[in-house]
Amino acid sequence: MQFTVKKVIAAVANEQLPFIDVQIESENTSDEVVSFRPSLAQLATSTGVQIDEPSLLESDELIDEYVGKVNDSGSIIYVFDNEEDIKDLDSIRLRISAPFSEDIKALGDKLDLKINLEH
C-alpha cells in the first residue's frame, strides 16, 4: 500500500463549524486483496486536541477493501467543538492501523504521521 497526505485544511464552515480536512490518496500496489482504512484514522493536534474518529457524514466515502491494483482519494473530515481547537495549529498527527490481508495478517506497520502545517 502507498498512502499520501495531499493537503490539510483547517477552517471554519459557516462561521460556526471548525474542522480539519485531510485530503489523501491511497493505492494498493499489489495484486492481492488488501484491507486498509484511512477513513478511521485518529487525529491529534499540536493544540492538544484528539479526535478518535472522523465525521463519517462530512468525509468522503473511501474504499476499505482494495481488490488488486486500485487507488482511491478523498477527504477525511474532523469536526471540532471550538474554533480555538484549530487556531494556531503547527501540526497534526494521524494514526492509521496497518493494512492487512484477507487472512487478517498485518502487511506492514501502523502509520503514525506528523504533518507540519504552514501558516
Q: Which of 99, 94, 97 is nearest to 21 (CA)?
A: 94
Instruction: Read off the pLDDT of residues 4-38 as tens digits, 9 standing for 90 and up.
Output: 999 999 999 888 899 999 999 999 999 999 999 99
Residue 84 — very low, low, confident or very high, per pLDDT cuts 50/70/90?
A: very high
CATH architecture of 2-116: Sandwich (2.60)
- Whether the full predicted model's pTM is greater than 0.85, yes or no, is yes
With a pLDDT cut of 70, the percent of the chain lying above it is: 99
pLDDT at 119 over 80: no
- The Cα-based distances of 102 to 67, 105, 106, 116 in angstroms read 10, 7, 10, 34
- What number of other Cβ atoms are within 10 A of residue 55's Cβ? 13
